[in-house]
Amino acid sequence: MSGYDVRLVEVGPRDGLQNEATAVPTAVKIELIQRLVAAGHRTVEATSFVSPKWVPQMADAAEVYRGLARQHGIAYPVLVPNLQGYERARAVGVTEIAMFAAASEAFSQRNINASIEESLQRFQPVLERARADGVRVRGYVSTVLGCPYQGEVPLADVVRVAQRLYELGCYEISLGDTIGVGTAGRARAMLRAVAAEIPMDALAVHFHDTYGQALANTLACVELGVRVVDASVAGLGGCPYAAGASGNVASEDVVYLLHGLGLRTGIDLAALVDTGRWISERLQRSNGSKVGRAFKGPA
Ligand code: HMG
Ligand code: MG
């Protein structure tokens, strides 16, 4: 028995902190990750080995990763856009990476300065190296329910990019509503279309909450059978190349939802709420989790 029904992938330290306007000390990032693991998270996306010219918030990726205590059963995937990022990650002992492509051509250009096809070509040597090194690779497809530059994104494009990443060897594909414009009906249709080509147990959902739909979208997809949900403590986050995008669905809200459905997550909600309050205070931002604001502990 795994001890849980749904696995959360905590993306706050990466998707959240990549977007903070003021510099977050490396020690705070490390403490955040440690607290998330202590609360029961087993997968915490720790940081991002992208170009510091593009995302200065993640310039301390190596220091953050070096500061983490390796523990059996805990995965710390990191974002890697190219071979240079892979080399940097491997130099500090990374054993799991996440590569990211977009379903929208316009977003791909703005986010990684490459067309979708160029980005997939760029991933190939990284995936080959990863396979040889025994490094696990997660894949992201961004803009699955809309693009800030192109608007509508055809479902066929989402399916095609997800399939390519899966065929290239990603063990799991996370479907990202980067700008949080999706609704439950569209999220369901998107997941159904992708799941017709890729096994459901190799899929994850990644909702941002810009329009306040992220929790509803999560529920719709869990009802369809997805069992991996990306979320961010205190709803931290956004995307530096998607102006106006809010943070991810809050981890506390997802845990509260899932526990209410009788689905086990292995996460201690009280400890997670404490962590969300602590990081919100450290960053002097309001807590983006409704559960985090309201929670008074189990009766
Ligand atoms: P580029 O400018 O086309 O690349 O950027 P380049 O190869 O010409 O490199 C430019 C400079 O960056 C060079 O330095 C390189 O050495 C350096 P210079 O010669 O000028 O001194 N460089 C690097 N340095 C460190 N690590 C590296 C690296 N690569 C190049 N890995 C590139 C192309 C892909 C690098 C750039 O566009 C980039 O880093 N983009 C990342 C953008 C990003 O991080 N976006 C947010 C993450 S995606 C997201 O949030 C969505 C997600 O959450 C899912 C969802 O919500 O949908 C995942
Ligand atoms: Mg994201």
Regarding the beta carbon of 43 and ligand 1, being less than 6 Å apart is answered no
- Which residue's CA is minimally distant from atom 43 of ligand 1? 111
Give residue 40's region: left, alpha or beta (phi > 0; psi -120 to 50): left
Domain total for the chain?
A: 1
Residue 68 falls within a domain, yes or no? yes
Catalytic residue IDs: 239
Give the model's confidence band at 297: pLDDT under 50 very low, under 70 low, under 90 confident, else very high: confident
| Residue % of the chain over a pLDDT of 70 | 98
Q: Evaluate: CB of 55 within 6 angstroms of ligand 1.
A: yes
Q: Ligand 1 pocket: which of 15, 49, 51 to mutate (most atoms <8 Å of CB)?
A: 51
The per-residue pLDDT for range 29-71, each reduced to its tens digit, is 999 999 999 999 999 999 999 999 999 999 999 999 999 999 9
Q: Is residue 66 part of a domain?
A: yes
Confidence of residue 245 (pLDDT cuts 50, 70, 90): confident
Which ligand sits nearest to residue 103's alpha carbon? 1
pLDDT higher than threshold 50 for residue 233? yes
> What's the distance, CA 194 to chain centroid?
18
Check if 248 has its Cβ closer than 6 Å to any atom of ligand 1.
Answer: no
Q: Is residue 298 assigned to a domain?
A: no
Assess whether the C-beta atom of 47 lies below 6 angstroms from ligand 1.
no
**pLDDT, position 294:** 97
CA distance 87 to 176: 26
**What pLDDT score does 1 carry?**
43
Per-residue pLDDT tens over the stretch 144-193: 999 999 999 999 999 999 999 999 999 999 999 999 999 999 999 999 99
Note whether 65 and 29 are within 8 A (CB). no
The token pair that represents 260 in the structure block? 């209410």
Ranges 49-58, 112-121, 232-241: which has the least confidence: 232-241
User: From ligand 1's centre to the CA of 59, what distance in Å?
Assistant: 11
- Does ligand 1 have an atom closer than 6 angstroms to the CB of 107? no
Question: Which atom in ligand 1 lies closest to the alpha carbon of residue 142?
Answer: 57
Give the residue whose CA is nearest to atom 33 of ligand 1. 112
Q: Say whether pLDDT at 230 is over 70.
A: yes
88 lines ligand 1 (CB under 6 A): yes
Q: How far apart are CA 43 and CA 194, in angstroms?
A: 23
For residue 73, is it within any domain? yes
Domain interval for residue 242: 7-292
Predicted structure pTM score: 0.97
Mutate to test the pocket of ligand 1, among 10, 11, 47, 54 (most ligand atoms within 8 A of CB): 54
11: CATH = 3.20.20.70
CB 53 near ligand 1, within 6 Å: yes
User: What are 290's two structure tokens?
Assistant: 């409704």
Ligand nearest to the CA of 112: 1
Nearest CA to ligand 1 atom 11: 51
Residue 205 lies in a domain: yes
Cβ–Cβ under 8 Å, residues 85 and 156: no
Q: What stretch of H or E contains 132?
A: helix 116-133
pLDDT mean over 197-217: 97
With 80 as the cut, is the pLDDT of residue 82 above it?
Answer: yes
**Does 297 map to a domain?**
no
Give me 223's structure tokens: 């009802």
Q: What is the pLDDT of residue 239?
A: 66
8-22, 93-107, 241-255: which range is least confident on average? 241-255
- Given the structure tokens 């991933």, which residue do they identify? 123
Cα(229) to ligand 1 centroid in Å equals 25
Does residue 2 form part of some domain? no
Residue 79 domain-assigned? yes
